[in-house]
Chain A
């Protein structure tokens, strides 16, 4: 059996009598990128903070690269945590920010600045060494924060919605080259996001969390095609459940005023993209929402039938 790089078992965390996280088992391979998704408040960030050691687990074990981390202080864990905001230290310039981790590791000044400059070059921040955080743009801040995290060569990088403060285009661009960079460094990553597209694009596998529990951890393809339960299905909007059977979107069609057997649905939004009309449908008598494509335009508010075909 393949040995796992990160292994969590029976992790539990309780805040004020309320269980916020309870993960029986979670394993990640070396170099793998795991996206963590789920409704807000389901313990995504808590999961990361526990791994980083910023908070203590109530029960359970965390093992990274064969080493149990329960009693290892956060400073000595081979893990770096990155927040939503870049959180660069406002009193240091970019170079000093990037070099911070090396300074903590008592690397000599010249050496750490050389390394930091090199890292800055790799993340495309050349020439901004002496700027202060408030003098650079949001995307640059994020790159600087990443550079700061990568310079200590962490075994695991924990990203907590790192792109959420960026606009759509910048966000896509940033995520592409970050993924590229992470892959080329072979870094194991846990990545929290609330954006499904981002999760699918970024992660090798995606973990779906709900109310502190891990519902499913699989590749995007598997998730969409065979969700383990109705929560995952409806959360991903990947299809509908009928009588204990799951029908993925790829096997669904819709028709107007059709007498065929199927489920009634209401059109709640339409948009045109890639040469097709997309219709967002709310299935009656269920919470499921799916998006289907049609050749012809339908109007918002129209009632349609959804059937397998």
Chain B
């Protein structure tokens, strides 16, 4: 804990920065070299070809459009929910409910919505059973349409909880007095939002925007599952180039993803440069707690129950599907049930238990490393202004802005050299990549909420580094740590490609064991697995919750 004593931000940030550079740096260099075919004659022909390829350009525009619409919608809906519901959501269990969709990997969520909303989906079937529509094709085409409605619905549904997770702490720290002040000065509700909430909410919203945007524009699973044949999103095309049979196409995948990466990272960097002034004020406040009052409790109750419905409807459908053997179109009830899906899952016996233990072990280790590296880094970012802060911020966020296939090659080569490929240590370290940025983000917001004055008081009263951390920060960081536990386990458990590549078959997590089954047609099998898969992060969360309770017996309110 010595690093905690120092107030030098460079020292606080060094571990996080070093590990990020180590993991990313070589990967990006390799990706670029691959894209210019350095092993033959270095050439930019791939880039030239891409820019003159109509399909590629269409696909880029299409991807940007989908990403933009999904991101904006998610943020707006998330903002409305948080604004109206934060007094309810600050309790543990409503919070868990709001976060629930996050425990399902994206493609599972997409698959659930597909089960619900496709032309022969449950809703269409139900309407038919009620005699409201005659044929499946009377039901509107929501999935696999050329506009990408299905993709957008899935992303919005899935990202709103993430927006809630990011914005909730901000609203918990907003002062009611300021709000009343605006009202007394003749401001309307909009003015309250603009003058009281926006200065705090906007920086976080912007960051959330980039995280979601970068994710949507570069993620493969959902558009691969729900996208139309044409146009395809850019990640789908890139994955086909990358994993496709024609290995000479690989440079195109690298080039496309490299361009996308540079574009996003650059925008994020510029945003940090332009917004950095506003943010530091947040951490200078004293960090007192405020009484939280809902603005209009009537609507908020309706909204809460809508949210509840939106969370549990797909999950309910999933549970049902896992037990249904045959449910014909237009039948109000399934004609036969089966436990086959569950049987198939549990049949794996020792492999299954091994996978559970491996997954638990890995996610706990990843969590531990995340906290060890993330806490000092988050503190450094929250409380210090220093040269090159925008660069550091961009760098620390970049692992989630960069698609994993871009850096996979470099990371794998590095890990083979270091001798940690095909071993759990490699997997744990590589899982830092998609998790650490979130940890730093969430903890930084936590530190900002507490403010640095409390540390000064404690120091002046004789508290050492560990004493301050243990007595002042830790208890107040619990809500943030809770979010971190949740995010990190969910993300770590959902990693398939990086785990497969780095673990190389030696590290059999749940994802490795079960992801292949998503290629079956048997819905009961997929549904059973999805539920099982979602239960693990919840189990980890409850486990950690128990540990936290033992560690910190008393919590405010």
Contacts and interface: CB of A to CB of B under 8 A. Distances in A.
A, B assembled together: yes
Given A89-B472, A91-B476, A103-B471, A134 B461 contact: no
A90 interface: yes
Contact of A134 (B289, B457, B472): B289
A288 interface: no
Contacts of B463: 75, 100-101, 104
B461 A149 contact: yes
Interface in A49-87: 52-54, 74-77, 79-81, 83, 85, 87
A94 B459 CA distance: 19
Nearest to A84: B286
Contacts of A128: none
A90 B288 contact: yes
Nearest to B291: A134
B363 to A, nearest CB: 28
B186 interface: no
B556 interface: yes
A75 B288 contact: no
A79 B459 CA distance: 10
A235 B291 CA distance: 41
A175 to B, nearest CB: 21
Given A81-B457, A85-B286, A134-B291, A90 B462 contact: no
A157 B457 CA distance: 12
Name which of B453, B458, B462, B475 has the most chain A CB atoms within 10 A of its CB: B462
B471 A100 contact: yes
Contact of B456 (A54, A90, A132, A149): A54
B467 A91 contact: no
A81 B456 CA distance: 8
Contact of B458 (A53, A91, A104, A132): A104
Contacts of A104: 458, 461-464, 467, 471
B459 to A, nearest CB: 5
A152 B458 CA distance: 12
Nearest 8 pairs between A and B by C-beta? A101-B461, A81-B460, A104-B463, A74-B459, A104-B462, A91-B556, A91-B475, A90-B289
Interface string B368-394: 000000000000000000000000000
B454 A74 contact: no
Contact of A85 (B288, B458, B459, B462): B288
A105 interface: yes
Contacts of A205: none
Interface in A257-295: none
A80 B461 CA distance: 6
B248 interface: no
Given A76-B462, A104-B467, 17 more contacts: A53-B459, A85-B288, A85-B453, A89-B457, A90-B476, A91-B555, A100-B463, A101-B461, A101-B462, A101-B463, A104-B458, A105-B462, A132-B556, A132-B557, A134-B288, A134-B291, A148-B461
Interface in A152-177: 152
B514 to A, nearest CB: 41
A79 B460 contact: yes
A54 B459 contact: yes
Interface string B530-557: 0000000000000000000000000111
Interface of B: 286-289, 291, 453-454, 456-464, 467, 471-472, 475-476, 555-557
Contacts of B472: 89
A54 B453 CA distance: 10
Contacts of A90: 287-289, 476, 556
B288 A83 contact: no
A101 B458 CA distance: 8
Contacts of A54: 456, 459-460
A78 B287 CA distance: 26
B467 A87 contact: no
Contacts of A80: 460-461
Contacts of B454: 87, 89
Nearest to B460: A81
Interface in A196-248: none
25 contacts: A74-B459, A74-B460, A75-B459, A75-B463, A77-B460, A80-B461, A81-B457, A83-B286, A85-B453, A87-B286, A87-B454, A89-B454, A89-B457, A89-B476, A100-B458, A100-B461, A101-B462, A104-B458, A104-B463, A104-B464, A104-B471, A132-B556, A134-B288, A134-B291, A148-B461
Contacts of B475: 91-92
Contacts of A133: 288
A140 B403 CA distance: 55
Contact of B461 (A53, A92, A152): A152
Nearest to B287: A90
Interface in A120-152: 132-134, 148-149, 152
A23 to B, nearest CB: 20
Contacts of B557: 132
Contacts of B467: 103-104
A100 B475 CA distance: 14
A132 B554 CA distance: 12
Contacts of B460: 52, 54, 74, 77, 79-81
Contacts of A89: 454, 457, 471-472, 476
Nearest to A149: B461
A156 to B, nearest CB: 11
A40 to B, nearest CB: 16
Contacts of A105: 462
Contacts of A103: 467, 471
A153 B66 CA distance: 64
Contacts of B286: 83, 85, 87
A72 B253 CA distance: 58
Nearest to B452: A54
A85 B453 CA distance: 10
Name which of A85, A92, A104 has the most chain B CB atoms within 10 A of its CB: A104
A53 B462 CA distance: 11
B381 to A, nearest CB: 20
A161 B462 CA distance: 21
Contacts of A85: 286, 288, 453
Nearest to A75: B462
Nearest to B286: A85
A281 to B, nearest CB: 35
A101 B457 CA distance: 10
Contacts of B459: 53-54, 74-75
Contacts of A132: 556-557
B533 to A, nearest CB: 35
Contacts of B457: 81, 83, 87, 89
A74 B467 CA distance: 14
A134 B175 CA distance: 13
Nearest to B285: A85
A103 B470 CA distance: 12
Nearest to A78: B462
A148 B460 CA distance: 11
Nearest to B456: A54
A75 B460 CA distance: 6
Contacts of A148: 461
Contacts of B291: 134
A83 B457 CA distance: 8
Contacts of B556: 90-91, 132
A100 B460 CA distance: 11
